[in-house]
């Protein structure tokens, strides 16, 4: 059995996969997910490119441009974030507008793929992978609209799917299968830190070579261990808040108020845990990272 310990993918996205020598890891994931060969040309500026200690650790992203001049936003998020769907929409819209110059033709608009790797419960659903895109469907006929455009003096039929952004939501915690396909092997790594020794899945062979913990130098390993410890603290905090939220929700009594009670209770639980952490003398920066509260909110406790 393979006993190598691999670096968490969120840390790899933050620190390692931006290096051109490691592009093949990300190319492998995108190739498996999009079911076509992806070749990354370069990494573009994004809001999470900074590598300061006080960066918000529970969400990191990487924005890449491929050989087809399309933009890929790969995001890893450890904990739930308010207005998550609105934020990924904003990220895609920002990427589109950033990569077309004023005065250019609309034909220069880039196709954008948004891939979110989620380690939290986003809602109800039985699958671990969801895909969404804008489509125009006949209200009465059910057919998909083909748009006819003139290009190089010829009429070309173009589907909206060739133009509009695509969204992939990978719900890591919902994966509970024996990995038999390349995509399932990737989920097995993302969730269980396991890669088959004989894997031929694109990207995972490279993970085995490049993202093993024993390849890290002492300084990097110490920073990585602090990162993992902080995530463990945060998971404990959120588990406690979630439990208290359930109790609050049940206390509401009425079925129609249960969901609201769960959310309000979880929020109360987070504040309660933050207050206790503050009393224990835990550094404010750690409490911020662990609870998602702002420094101002914590100082007022």
Across the strands, what pairs with 43? Answer: 64
Residue 254 has pLDDT above 60, yes or no: no
| Tens digits of residue pLDDT in 281-300 | 777 877 776 677 788 888 88
Confidence grade of residue 163 (pLDDT, cut at 50, 70, 90): confident
pLDDT at 48: 47
Burial 82-105 (b: 16+ CB within 10 A, else e): eebeeebeebbeebeeebeeeeee
Average predicted confidence (pLDDT) for the chain:
81
* Percent of the chain predicted with pLDDT > 90: 42
Q: Please report which residue ranges of 23-106 form alpha helices under DSSP H.
A: 23-34, 84-98
Provide the 8-state DSSP code for 76: E
* pLDDT score at 245: 52
- State pTM to two decimals: 0.74
What pLDDT does residue 241 have? 56
Q: Between the ranges 53-62, 183-192, 207-216, where is the mean pLDDT highest?
A: 183-192
Instruction: State the pLDDT at residue 286.
Output: 72
The residue among 70, 60, 117 whose CA lies nearest residue 95 is: 70
pLDDT value for 108: 82
The string of pLDDT tens digits covering residues 202-253 is 999 999 999 988 888 888 888 888 878 777 766 666 655 555 555 555 555 5
Q: What is the 3-state secondary structure (H, E, C) of 123-172?
A: CCCCCCEEEEECCCECCCCCCECCEEEEECCEEEEECHHHCCCEEEEEEH
From the list 183, 159, 58, 152, the residue with the least C-alpha distance to 111 is 159
Radius of gyration for the chain, computed over Cα atoms and rounded to the nearest angstrom: 22
Q: How confident is the model at residue 50 (pLDDT cuts 50, 70, 90)?
A: very low
CA distance 9 to 170: 13
pLDDT at 9: 92
Strands 154-158 and 71-77: unpaired
Most confident of 52-66, 176-190, 240-254: 176-190
The answer to whether the CB of 59 falls within 8 A of the CB of 13 is no
Does residue 23 or residue 291 have the better pLDDT?
23
- Residues 119-148 have a mean pLDDT of 88
13 Cβ contact list (under 8 Å, min separation 6)? 60, 61, 62, 74, 76
């Amino acid at each position: 059995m393979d006993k190598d310990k691999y670096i968490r993918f969120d840390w790899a996205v933050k620190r390692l996969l931006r290096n051109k020598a490691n592009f093949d890891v990300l190319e492998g994931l995108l190739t498996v997910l999009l079911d076509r060969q992806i070749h990354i040309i370069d990494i573009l500026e994004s809001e999470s490119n900074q590598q300061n200690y006080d960066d918000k650790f529970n969400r990191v992203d990487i924005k890449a441009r491929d050989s087809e001049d399309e933009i890929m936003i790969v995001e890893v998020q450890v904990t739930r974030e308010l207005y998550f769907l609105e934020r990924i929409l904003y990220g895609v819209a920002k990427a589109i507008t950033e990569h077309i110059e004023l005065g250019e033709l609309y034909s220069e608009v880039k196709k954008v793929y948004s891939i979110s790797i989620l380690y939290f419960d986003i809602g109800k659903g039985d699958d671990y992978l969801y895909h969404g895109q804008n489509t125009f469907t006949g209200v009465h006929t059910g057919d998909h609209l083909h748009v006819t455009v003139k290009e190089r003096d010829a009429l070309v039929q173009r589907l909206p799917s060739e133009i509009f952004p695509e969204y992939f939501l990978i719900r890591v915690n919902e994966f509970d299968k024996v990995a038999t396909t390349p995509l399932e092997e990737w989920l097995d790594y993302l969730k269980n830190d396991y890669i088959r020794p004989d894997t031929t899945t694109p990207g995972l062979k490279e993970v085995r070579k490049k993202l093993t913990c024993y390849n890290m130098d002492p300084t990097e390993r110490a920073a990585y261990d602090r990162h993992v410890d902080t995530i463990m603290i945060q998971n404990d905090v959120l588990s406690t808040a979630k439990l208290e939220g359930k109790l609050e929700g049940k206390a509401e009594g009425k079925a129609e108020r249960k969901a609201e009670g769960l959310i309000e209770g979880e929020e109360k639980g987070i504040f309660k845990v933050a207050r206790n952490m503050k009393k224990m003398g835990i550094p404010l920066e750690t409490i911020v990272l662990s609870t998602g509260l702002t420094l101002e909110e914590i100082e007022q406790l």
